[in-house]
């Protein structure tokens, strides 16, 4: 432990960088669930990120890349590795013409707000998604008929050996809630968005309308990880779950939302084990009833 603490600490030399030991992941996920990460680091420069990845590779330590933790469930035991957080020091954004360049840690809500103030349209759909630019790019996040693939022109990424490259839209390989980023082991450093000129007031009105729709239909008053299951082809997960009798069903403090059955919420002190047991029962009953195998959209770290 001391050996690795020393090496991780030496890798982090920036003024804004930091290293923590046994950091509770419940504090870093929108679900508010999760045991401790053995190590937690927030690099501030590419060189620091590269050094952390190289140490992990040499020592056989799993490296987990964290954004806002908005689509993540961490085991009650935590995760035995290094969590590398991009949110603290990679939340920058700059605009030139119709292009927005955003660091991986920039919240989508802030990116959308920057675009709106600059009179750039295209990111309205993302204004209510509680993730970061990096996380949204990895999973091709979307809402209200639009997705990241519609607005991202390129990604700057680093591989696990510390090499940096830029991927164009075709190379990113966007699909439904997926891209090439995770399968290839890339870490998103930066995204370049291609937007369109628009009227700031009209853009703000569109953002406000979508925000009202989101508040009306989604259980934003409770912690969650967003949509729990991917949309099965030809179906809606929430409808299948509702028709299977799970509206409001709970195990401990893990509950299927009464407002939207596509969300599993934390009513206060839910555990990861309770969430997973609830999801297991949902998947089993929907498969038996409708012959549809639901696939979890929420990512999981640690042992379950």
Q: What is the pLDDT of residues 216-225, one digit of tens each?
A: 999 999 999 9
Q: What is the pLDDT of residues 124-182, one digit of tens each?
A: 999 999 999 999 999 999 999 999 999 999 999 999 999 999 999 999 999 999 999 99
Q: Do residues 139 and 71 make contact, with C-beta atoms less than 8 angstroms apart?
A: yes
What DSSP character marks residue 178?
B
Q: What is the pLDDT of residues 77-86, one digit of tens each?
A: 999 999 999 9
**CATH class for domain 2-85?**
alpha beta
Give mean pLDDT, residues 188-206.
98
Give the confidence band of 1 by pLDDT, cuts at 50, 70, 90.
Answer: low
N-terminal to C-terminal alpha carbon distance within the chain: 24
* 221 conformational bin, left if phi > 0, alpha if psi -120 to 50, beta if neither: alpha
Q: Do residues 65 and 71 make contact, with C-beta atoms less than 8 angstroms apart?
A: no
- What is the pLDDT at residue 88? 96
Give mean pLDDT, residues 109-135.
97
- What is the pLDDT at residue 53? 97
Give the confidence band of 5 by pLDDT, cuts at 50, 70, 90.
Answer: confident
Query: Could you give the CA distance from residue 181 to residue 224 in angstroms, rounded to a whole number?
Result: 24
pTM: 0.94
- What is the pLDDT at residue 207? 96
Q: What percent of the chain has pLDDT over 70?
A: 100
What DSSP character marks residue 132?
B
Q: Which residues are catalytic?
A: 177, 227, 297
What CATH number does domain 93-203 carry, 3.40.50.1820, 3.40.50.1100, 3.30.465.10, 2.60.120.330?
3.30.465.10
Q: Return the number of other C-beta atoms located less than 10 Å from residue 208's C-beta.
A: 12
Tokens describing residue 208: 């406000």
Give the confidence band of 3 by pLDDT, cuts at 50, 70, 90.
Answer: confident
Spell out where the chain has E strands. Answer: 18-24, 36-42, 63-66, 72-74, 79-85, 93-96, 99-103, 120-121, 142-143, 146-147, 152-158, 164-168, 187-194, 196-197, 224-227, 250-251, 254-256, 263-266, 299-301
Q: Which of 34-43, 210-219, 271-280 is least confident?
A: 210-219
**CATH class for domain 219-301?**
alpha beta
* Domain parsing of the chain, residue ranges: 2-85, 93-203, 219-301
- What is the pLDDT at residue 103? 98
Give mean pLDDT, residues 273-302.
97
């Amino acid at each position: 432990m001391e050996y690795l603490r020393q090496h991780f600490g030496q890798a982090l030399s920036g003024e804004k960088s930091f290293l923590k030991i046994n950091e509770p992941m419940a504090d870093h996920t929108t679900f508010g669930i999760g045991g401790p990460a053995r190590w937690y680091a927030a690099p501030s420069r590419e060189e620091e990120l590269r050094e952390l990845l190289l140490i992990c590779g040499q020592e056989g330590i799993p490296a987990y890349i964290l954004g806002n933790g908005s689509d993540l469930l961490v085991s009650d035991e935590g995760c035995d590795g290094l969590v590398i957080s991009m949110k603290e020091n990679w939340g920058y954004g700059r605009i030139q013409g119709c292009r927005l360049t955003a660091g991986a840690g920039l919240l989508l809500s802030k990116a959308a707000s920057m675009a709106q103030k600059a009179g750039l349209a295209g990111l309205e759909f993302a204004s209510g998604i509680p993730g970061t630019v990096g996380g949204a790019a990895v999973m091709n996040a979307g809402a209200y008929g639009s997705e990241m693939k519609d607005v991202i022109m390129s990604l700057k990424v680093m591989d696990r050996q510390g090499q940096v490259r830029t991927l164009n839209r075709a190379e990113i390989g966007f699909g439904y809630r997926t891209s090439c980023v995770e399968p290839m082991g890339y870490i998103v450093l930066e995204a370049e968005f291609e937007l369109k000129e628009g009227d700031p007031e009209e853009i703000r009105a569109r953002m406000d309308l979508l925000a009202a729709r989101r508040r009306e239909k989604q259980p934003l008053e409770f912690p969650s990880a967003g949509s729990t299951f991917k949309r099965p082809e030809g179906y809606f997960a929430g409808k299948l779950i509702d028709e299977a009798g799970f509206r409001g069903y709970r195990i401990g403090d893990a509950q299927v939302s009464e407002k939207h059955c596509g969300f599993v919420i934390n009513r206060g002190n839910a555990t990861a084990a309770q969430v997973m047991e609830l999801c297991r029962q949902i998947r089993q009953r929907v498969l038996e009833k409708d012959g549809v195998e639901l696939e979890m959209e929420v990512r999981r770290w640690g042992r379950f």
